[in-house]
Amino acid sequence: MAEVRLENVAKAFGSLTVIPDLSLHVPDKSFTVLVGPSGCGKSTLLRLIAGLERPTRGTVRIGGEDVTTKEPSKRGISMVFQSYALYPHMSVARNIDFGLRITGVSKEEREARVAEAARILALEDHLDRKPSELSGGQRQRVAIGRSIVRNPKVFLFDEPLSNLDAALRTQMRVELAELHHSIDSTMIYVTHDQVEAMTLADQIVVMNKGRVEQIGSPMDLYDRPASVFVAGFIGSPKMNLISGKRFGNPEAETVGVRPEDMELTEGQGYEATARVVETLGSDTIAHVRVDELGDLTVRLPGHMRLRDGERLRVTPNPDRLHYFDADDRRMETARA
Amino acid sequence: MSESTMPPPDRRPGPAERLREAVSNGRLTAALILLPPALVLFTLFVILPLGESGWYAFYDWNGYGTPEDFVGLQNFEQMFGHSVFSVAVGNTVKILVISLVVQMPLALLLALLVYRQTPTNAVFRLIFFVPYIMAEVAAGLIWSFVFDGNYGVTASIATTLGIDKFFILADRDLAFYAIMVVIVWKYFGFHMMIYIAALQGVPDDQIEAARIEGASRTQIVRHVQIPYIRPAIAVSAFFAIIGALQVFDIIIPLTNGGPSNQTHTIVTYLYEFGLTRLRIGFGSAVGVVLFIVAVLVAVFYQRLFMRKAAS
């Protein structure tokens, strides 16, 4: 049992309050992703769970136990850092078994655990190398291996893929998902990349200015964003957010429609001009200027050919509109 | 395409090719303009005096007129047969050992205590660094007052404890230990600053990763921080060794080499028995030996330790 609970946790650095008051439940064996823009407090939250920072107020529980004042090494967690934090003077094997060595684990057990981690992460051929002799992806695997051998109750990841190129990031994303399936532990993962959040998470926690904006499954957040912030943050390209008045719905302050919920129509719909057309192969993203509504983004099938400056008509799918009130919160009842 | 026209894949440019490249990219012009002033100054003030010193070492010469009394290796024979020279060499070795065994660990310990950037640490760093920026002669005079058995701090201690006055700097057995205390006090701040700069370069997340893995403070220092700053420690040790061979201006105001010539180093020996007694040829012979030792130590140390540390 390794659920993580934060109860009314606050964190301030001097006069700067990063997390005013936050409660969160991370279920056992879940892959929970903390996502939000830079400076929203997600890394601070992870460090509070790790014990690298002490909360100004509130309680942190791991597996039901209050660990608020416990040292990081006594919490049953392990952490993978953005920079990997590998020791440059140690070989891969010694990096992986460092924690076991200094805590007095026997040589036989250390070797067995390192061999198992190396097998899972395909590092068997690199155990004698130094980190400087490895690629970015291999270094990331070593950092994960260092976590695995400690058999932690909770794995913490602080933007672990940020330093990798796009192709490697995609590959490592898949490997992390496989790792979660194979070791079946609780994982808490911080990222500012909503694609990583959507693809990896069982549960996403969207954070903004030290507060939780919404917690839910990826598709929950995508289909029913609780606020304008979540609507704009989750999804790529971003949801189109239109003034309710301009959209003809005075009840709602803002009306949202995802780019894929807009379609090109003939003879009816809003008149628009294609400003820029991005052809991605699988999709075509058209940035259009709608005469009545302003600038919008429309996702079209990949084979669709449009020219910059072309006149067209767009129609939002009325069943897929999202309505938000003056406080930017979701409205369930507003209908045009 | 014939084989002869295919350039080998890892071919390095030849001298003529490198010269053409240097001419075309302006490096040759820059070297021709910038190198001569430095070369002339270095030759005038380093190479020529060194050469002259080597020449004087074979003469019995008082520094006036032209050296004419060629004595061969007599100056070297006298030097190596002189008991005070042996004491001076022994003292220099003692300074070397104390620098490596006491001064550097002390500097590292203090650096570990104050390397983090906080206002309090900044104050302590400054306090620890003050002895280093103080002129050697001034430091020597301050400590000669501290060790003064009649009016200094030791006199106050003797009075307070109700014991006989003691004169450390006049004691044949203790004087050099007092000097070593002053040397450690004077130079530990320099080594501490080298370590502080290096410790501030150790990534925080490596230390945090070690904390998460259960490493104690001592284990973090031993397994993470010291290995990371090994190149800085190698540089610091290099300066300590070269510095030990050059100790001079701390000793002159403290003991002037006494009592009974027991606190000489190689350089004060050179000064006392070469320059002040107008035996420039003999002093030059000491200087030549010191120079050769310094160069050998520097070259061997660079080859053996600094490259290893850097790798």
Q: Could you list the residue range(s) of the whole structural domain that residue A76 is in?
A: 4-228
For A52-108, how does the pLDDT look when each residue is reduced to its tens digit (9 = 90+)?
999 999 999 999 999 999 999 999 999 999 999 999 999 999 999 999 999 999 999
Q: Residue B255 to residues B138, B204, B234, B258: CA-CA distances in angstroms?
A: 14, 47, 32, 5
Helix (H) or strand (E) run with residue B121 in it: helix B119-133
The CATH number assigned to the domain holding A315 equals: 2.40.50.140
Is A49 a domain residue? Answer: yes
The average confidence (pLDDT) of chain A is 92
The average confidence (pLDDT) of chain B is 91
Q: Which pLDDT score, from 0 to 100, does residue A1 have?
A: 61
Mean pLDDT score, B20-27: 87
- Same domain for A139 and A92: yes
State the complex-level ipTM. 0.87
B34: buried, middle or exposed (CB in 10 Å: 19+, 13-18, 0-12)? Answer: exposed
Instruction: Place B10 in a pLDDT band, splitting at 50, 70 and 90.
Output: low
Q: Which pLDDT score, from 0 to 100, does residue B11 have?
A: 64
Nearest to A3 by CA among A27, A32, A31, A34: A27
B233 contact residues in A (CB cutoff 8 A) = none
Q: Which of A202, A228, A254 is the last residue of a domain?
A: A228
Nearest to B91 by CA among B232, B255, B228, B207: B255
CB B57 within 8 A of CB B76: yes
- Same domain for A102 and A224: yes
List all residues 6 or more positions away from A303 whose beta carbon is below 8 Å from its beta carbon. A284
Q: Residue B170 to residues A119, B84, B86, B166: CA-CA distances in angstroms?
A: 71, 17, 20, 9
- Same domain for A52 and A183: yes
**B2 or B231, greater pLDDT:** B231
What's the gap between Cα B265 and its chain centre? 13
Rounded distance, CA B164 to CA B158, Å?
A: 6
What's the gap between Cα B300 and its chain centre? 15
B205 contact residues in A (CB cutoff 8 A) = 81-83, 85
Q: Which pLDDT score, from 0 to 100, does residue B6 have?
A: 47
Residue of A nearest to B217 (CA): A102
Residue of B nearest to A53 (CA): B208
Residue of B nearest to A97 (CA): B213
Residue of A nearest to B206 (CA): A85
Q: Which of A164, A199, A228 is the last residue of a domain?
A: A228
Residue to mutate among B204, B211, B212, with most A CBs inside 10 A, is: B212
DSSP category for residue B70: B
Mean pLDDT score, B138-164: 91
CB B189 within 8 A of CB B107: yes
A88 contact residues in B (CB cutoff 8 A) = 228
Q: Nearest C-alpha of chain B: how many angstroms from A44?
A: 14
- Same domain for A101 and A161: yes
| Helix and strand totals (H; E) in chain A | 8, 19
Q: CB–CB of A73 and B224 under 8 A?
A: no
Q: Which of B205, B216, B230 sits opposite A81 (nearest CB)?
A: B205
- Same domain for A281 and A205: no
Inter-chain contacts counted by CB atoms under 8 A, chains A and B: 61
- Same domain for A197 and A95: yes
Token look-up 């009592």 returns: B259
Strand order, beta sheet including A211-216? A77-80, A154-158, A186-191, A31-35, A203-208, A211-216
Is A100 a domain residue? Answer: yes
Q: CB–CB of A85 and B219 under 8 A?
A: no
For B57-94, how does the pLDDT look when each residue is reduced to its tens digit (9 = 90+)?
999 999 999 999 999 999 999 999 999 999 999 999 99
Residue to mutate among A44, A46, A49, A52, with most B CBs inside 10 A, is: A52
A72 contact residues in B (CB cutoff 8 A) = 208, 211-212
- Same domain for A223 and A160: yes
- Same domain for A202 and A249: no
Q: CB–CB of B213 and A73 under 8 A?
A: yes
- Same domain for A302 and A206: no
Is A335 a domain residue? Answer: no
Length of chain A: 336
Q: Which residue numbers of A have CB closer than 8 Å to B's CBs?
A: 50-52, 71-73, 77-79, 81-83, 85-90, 98-99, 102-103, 146, 150
CB B206 within 8 A of CB B228: yes
Task: Show the domains of chain B with their CATH numbers.
Answer: 15-56 (no CATH), 74-310 (1.10.3720.10)
B229 contact residues in A (CB cutoff 8 A) = none
Residues of chain B with pLDDT > 90, as a percent, come to 82
- The token pair at B29 is 């012009």
- Can you list the residues of chain A whose pLDDT is less than 50? 336
Q: Residue A336 to residues A89, A124, A224, B122: CA-CA distances in angstroms?
A: 65, 61, 18, 65
Residue B247 pLDDT exceeds 70? yes
Length of chain B: 311
B208 contact residues in A (CB cutoff 8 A) = 52, 72, 79, 81, 85
The CATH number assigned to the domain holding A32 equals: 3.40.50.300
Q: Which of A180, A201, A228 is the last residue of a domain?
A: A228
Instruction: Place B305 in a pLDDT band, splitting at 50, 70 and 90.
Output: confident
Q: CB–CB of A82 and B211 under 8 A?
A: no
Backbone angles phi, psi at A33, to 5 degrees: -110, 125
A82 contact residues in B (CB cutoff 8 A) = 205
Rounded distance, CA A284 to CA B204, Å?
A: 44
Q: Which residue numbers of B have CB closer than 8 Å to A's CBs?
A: 203, 205-206, 208-216, 219, 223-224, 227-228, 230
Q: Nearest C-alpha of chain A: how many angstroms from B108?
A: 19
Instruction: Place B2 in a pLDDT band, splitting at 50, 70 and 90.
Output: very low
- Same domain for A224 and A104: yes
Q: Which of A73, A103, A146 sits opposite B211 (nearest CB)?
A: A73
Q: CB–CB of A89 and B209 under 8 A?
A: no
Q: Residue B40 to residues A68, B36, B44, B175, B221: CA-CA distances in angstroms?
A: 68, 6, 6, 44, 47
Residues of chain B with pLDDT > 70, as a percent, come to 95
Q: CB–CB of A52 and B219 under 8 A?
A: no
Q: Which pLDDT score, from 0 to 100, does residue B3 have?
A: 40
B210 contact residues in A (CB cutoff 8 A) = 98
Q: Which pLDDT score, from 0 to 100, does residue B95 have?
A: 97
Q: Which of A81, A90, A99 sits opposite B213 (nearest CB)?
A: A99
Is A261 a domain residue? Answer: yes
- Same domain for A284 and A211: no
Number of structural domains (chain A) is 2
- Same domain for A262 and A216: no
Rounded distance, CA A314 to CA A330, Å?
A: 24
Q: CB–CB of A89 and B219 under 8 A?
A: no
Residue to mutate among B205, B213, B218, B219, with most A CBs inside 10 A, is: B213
Other Cβ atoms closer than 10 A to A304: 14
Is A41 a domain residue? Answer: yes
**pTM, 2 dp:** 0.84
